[in-house]
Amino acid sequence: MNKRIWFKENLTIEAIEKWSADTMVDHLDMHITEIGDDFLRGDMPVDHRTVQPQRRLHGGASAALAETLGSIAANLVLNNETHVAFGQTLFCQHLRPAVSGRVSGVARAIHLGRTTQVWEINIETEEGKVVCSSRLTMAVVRK
């Protein structure tokens, strides 16, 4: 079993969803679907909100899901009374198209430092094929 990395013991999907209400997360129908000991999983639809004119998942939508999952995860590691994390750099490699259904992303920490965090986020189709491989660097700032 992996070591639990989250700051709060009683972390729930419902609390995260409430925190994300009335944001782009809501607008693009992104949902957190699983909280593991050391990862966060979420998904979004491939539909009229997230596709390019060729009706394939827009790279910007993949980037939005990657940054959303990594950013939420980064802030869940911190004591939010004293610190907050902000996206600093996002690198995405778009590997194959997604044309329907939902895509799912998993954020896993690569580095959890005092002033920076690095997260890897892979986004897959419902068939388990990787659509986008991402790396997100977060700046950790004292409030």
Active site residues: 67
For residue 59, give Cα distances in angstroms to 46, 92, 104. 11, 8, 14
Tokens of 5: 């990395």
Among positive and negative, which fits the CA dihedral 22, 24, 28, 31? negative
Pair type for strands 39-45 and 102-112: antiparallel
Q: Tell me, what amino acid is at 24?
A: M
Burial of 18 from C-beta contacts in 10 A (0-12 / 13-18 / 19+)? exposed
